[in-house]
Amino acid sequence: MSMSPDQVACVKRSWARLQPRRLIVGERFYRRLFKLDPAVRALFHRDMADQTRRLVVMLDIAVCGLDEPAVLTPIIQALGARHARYGVDAAHYGTVGAALLWALGEGLTTEFTPEVEAAWTGFYAFIADHMQSPNGSAS
């Protein structure tokens, strides 16, 4: 994994701070995603409240799994394979990353420092890279 131990700790710490507001962060993420790329909305066929809960649970799993990347990687690759079947392609990952960082910034407000942003950027790069890997395939 390309994240330093300090970045892992930073992601974990900031996600823990968001726990009481994590569904709000998820809702903001989807609002921003659909604003950045309205065409992406057509990829979502389920209730958005349920989709938001699924996003937050997956973020919980991924953040907790940072301590064991060998366990986390196949989970992320399987998630990528599912997303590829839903129509997600490589071009979507940049927009998703931008929406995620924006939503985290909105949720953390002044606590979203350059250090926190850099840690989450590394975290998202890890997730996106593994989702698009040959075993997770979304290219």
Residue 137 reports pLDDT greater than 70 = no
Is 137 domain-assigned? no
Is 41 domain-assigned? yes
Instruction: Provide the residue range defining the domain that includes 17.
Output: 5-131
Question: Do residues 128 and 97 touch, judged by C-beta distance below 8 A?
Answer: yes
CATH number at residue 118: 1.10.490.10
Is 115 domain-assigned? yes
Task: Output the pTM of the full model.
Answer: 0.90
Is 79 domain-assigned? yes
Q: Write the CB contacts of 59 (distance below 8 Å, at least 6 apart in sequence).
A: 15, 22
Is 138 domain-assigned? no
Q: Write the CB contacts of 55 (distance below 8 Å, at least 6 apart in sequence).
A: 26, 29, 30
| pLDDT tens figures, 55-107 | 999 999 999 999 998 899 999 999 998 888 888 888 899 999 999 999 999 99
To the nearest whole percent, how much of the chain has pLDDT over 90?
79
Domain count of the fold of the chain: 1
Q: Where are the alpha helices (DSSP H) in 22-89?
A: 22-36, 48-64, 69-86
Q: Write the CB contacts of 65 (distance below 8 Å, at least 6 apart in sequence).
A: 71, 72, 75
> Per-residue confidence at 119, pLDDT binned at 50, 70, 90?
very high
Is 37 domain-assigned? yes
> Per-residue confidence at 139, pLDDT binned at 50, 70, 90?
very low
Is 136 domain-assigned? no
